[in-house]
Chain A
Amino acid sequence: MVASKKASTLPDPSPAMPSHANAPMRAPLFVLPDVTDASEPAPASRMHAEDLFAFYGKNEAIKGITLPIPDRRVTAIIGPSGCGKSTFLRCLNRMHELTPSASVKGYVFLDDENIYGPNINPVRLRRHVGMVFQKPNPFPSMSIKDNVLAGFKLNGIRVPRPDEVAEKALRQAALWDEAKDHLNRSGSSLSGGQQQRLCIARSLALEPEVLLMDEPCSALDPIATARIEELIRELRDRLTIVIVTHNMQQAARVSDYTAFFYQGHLVEHGTTRSVFSNPAQKQTEDYVAGRFG
């Protein structure tokens, strides 16, 4: 289960895990919940990166990464600080190039369309590939409801039934019950975890194909974190999610597929189960066992 394969040859989640009795000498590193149905065929990839390089000026932050993102599954990207995982994520919705002197080489495909192609409007792309950031950033000048609908306003789209759209997005983000009586309060009046769910609702309202999450829980307390992880599991079947996290347990809990980055390279990727309990590379094993990073 090694990296750099094209979409359709993504390995299946292994149908038969070695039982404890037959296990090799070392104990399983993680006991994973059954995140992936073992009998399901591997899904096609919704997005995939091919030979992707990303630079900050002359500094090469991402070195030739080829990685499929399976459709309607959760893909986690893990790795130590500075390994390029956030940079990679931002290449998926073309936000990397917004940094001064940042540049990109290679390909990223969304449904077989190269998003770095000459005719592609990056602004338009971000309607379909949404992003949730590390620090919750609801718009303080807007109410909760307006925050949810902000995506439409920013894209110049008129929403036919705004209340319904807002309620639906808030329900999907598991915020409706807490927010429904306070829709007109300012976006910043919520707690940290609620703000992050508001940001998720805001992204979901646009019904993107893919949702990118850049360490969405690292600024939150454990309870809020748990709620958001639950939310991610709920969204799983309907949305392709890519989540960058420095918390390996979190990756193990929420994702179907995991990619391990190290110093700009993709070291290994595969089903979460295999990466965590049966990593092919020593580096992966060391990282996952907590020996560095």
Chain B
Amino acid sequence: MSAITPDTLSADTGPGGGSPLHAPVDLKTPRSLKERLIERLFGAFAMVSILTAAGIVIVLFGESVAFFQQVSFGQFFGDTQWTPLFSEPHFGIWPLITGTLLTTLIAISVALPLGLFAAIYLSEFASPRVRKVAKPSLELLAGIPTVVYGYFALSFVTPAIQSFIPGVSGANALAAGLVMGLMITPIIASLSEDAIYAVPRSLREGASALGGTKVRTIFRVVLPAAASGITASVILGLSRAIGETMIVAIAAGMEPNLTLDPREPVQTMTAFIVQVSLGDTPAGSLGFQTIFAVGLMLFLTTLVFNVISFRLRARLNRGGHA
């Protein structure tokens, strides 16, 4: 008559211990210390993400505060020249903003039609087999390293543009914007397709029953119903383009330039940060701090866009249409 312990589990006794007078079972092992430690450890790992987010906020705001103690808001938003590293520095952010804006707008004007029509085709016309191949293939566009895209823009697209548009300089916003457009097409295509797919069948059937052709149904019924999802995809694409660095650093140039002419070189906010990093600006100096101020603007802008996009998509999941 022994307590049931691991050692006494033998092949000879039947279930229940075998003896008619069963022994008390030993249940009193405390909850393993190891188990609790493991849970704490994994929880700590999850906290790393919170630390990262907190770190980003603290670092960006911290250095920006130091920056803005020396450079007034008026200078930052009022001046139209951006030459923070010169001996007579100007801190007007507008050239960087127009640079980012220009390249981003060119990108979206490429990606939106391409992505939208691709999405329409995939959800309304393509067979499941085609869709299975086409969707991952489009994702390829997003998987190419951006430095490679930068090379494409500089070495192939720019000369091509130069051959039929006069006045295009070696570094220009147009080439960078076009290639960025290629890169963000999958974002538009994928999210728009989800949005279109989510439009309930009943809407389409209703339109057909009223005598609508497929084309009319798509443009008058389905797309408006999917509008919030499509908008979400565009906003996300914009956010991605705003945050893009290498394509513009390589192909759009490093000269801050307050212009909306795509043939000219421009510098984006991201390219500026790279420029400073490549140089020898001493840490802690004002010049150095500017990259954090610019970084903060970048972070806030993309954050706002991402949140808007997320909200729009959440609405899609709930309602199906705007």
Contact = CB atoms under 8 A, between A and B. Distances in A.
Are A and B in contact, CB atoms below 8 Å, in the complex? yes
Interface of A: 46, 71-72, 110-113, 115, 119-121, 123-125, 128, 155, 157, 160-161, 164-165, 168, 172, 204, 206-209, 211, 235, 238-240
A209 B9 contact: no
A141 to B, nearest CB: 21
B15 A172 contact: yes
Interface stretch (B16-24, B79-87, B307-315): B16-24
B9 A157 contact: yes
Contact of A121 (B9, B22, B24, B28): B28
A136 B27 CA distance: 27
B114 interface: no
- Provide the main secondary structure of the chain B interface: loop
Nearest to A128: B25
Nearest to B30: A121
Nearest to B6: A157
B213 interface: no
Contact of A111 (B9, B13, B25, B30): B25
B22 A207 contact: no
A264 B26 CA distance: 31
A72 B6 CA distance: 22
A168 B25 contact: no
Interface string B14-55: 111100001011111111100000000000000000000000
Given A121-B30, A128-B4, A113 B25 contact: yes
A204 B16 CA distance: 10
Contacts of A155: 6
B210 interface: no
Given A119-B30, A207-B9, A111 B22 contact: yes
Given A111-B22, A128-B4, A157-B6, A235 B15 contact: yes
A206 B11 CA distance: 10
Nearest to A71: B22
Contacts of B24: 111-113
Contacts of B15: 172, 204, 207-209, 211, 235, 238-239
B302 to A, nearest CB: 35
A208 B26 CA distance: 12
Given A121-B30, A207-B17, A209-B16, A161 B25 contact: no
A110 B32 CA distance: 22
A121 B29 CA distance: 6
A113 B23 CA distance: 12
Contacts of B29: 121, 124
A257 B25 CA distance: 24
17 contacts: A71-B22, A72-B16, A110-B27, A111-B24, A113-B24, A119-B28, A119-B30, A121-B31, A123-B31, A128-B4, A128-B27, A157-B6, A161-B11, A207-B16, A207-B17, A209-B25, A238-B14
User: Max chain A CB contacts within 10 Å: which of B4, B25, B31?
Assistant: B25
A157 B29 CA distance: 15
B26 A124 contact: yes
Given A207-B17, A240-B16, A120 B27 contact: yes
A120 B31 CA distance: 8
Contacts of B28: 119-121, 124
Contacts of B25: 110-111, 113, 128, 209
Given A119-B28, A124-B28, A128-B25, 5 more contacts: A111-B22, A155-B6, A161-B11, A207-B4, A207-B16
A121 B27 contact: yes
A229 B6 CA distance: 30
B11 A164 contact: yes
Interface string B167-191: 0000000000000000000000000
A111 B25 CA distance: 8
Contacts of B22: 46, 71, 111, 209
Contacts of B6: 155, 157
A130 to B, nearest CB: 9
A239 to B, nearest CB: 5
Contacts of A112: 24
Contacts of A235: 15
Contacts of B10: 160
Nearest to B4: A128
A71 B11 CA distance: 22
A124 B13 CA distance: 20
Nearest to A161: B11
A241 B189 CA distance: 58
A251 B26 CA distance: 32
A97 to B, nearest CB: 13
What are the 4 closest A-B residue pairs judged by CB atoms, nearest first?
A: A239-B15, A121-B29, A128-B25, A119-B28
A113 B17 CA distance: 17
A239 B30 contact: no
B15 to A, nearest CB: 5
A235 B14 CA distance: 10
B18 to A, nearest CB: 8
A115 B24 CA distance: 12
B32 to A, nearest CB: 8
Contacts of A46: 22
Contacts of A113: 24-25, 27
A71 to B, nearest CB: 8
Contacts of A160: 10-11
A235 B28 CA distance: 28
A168 B11 contact: yes
A46 B21 CA distance: 11
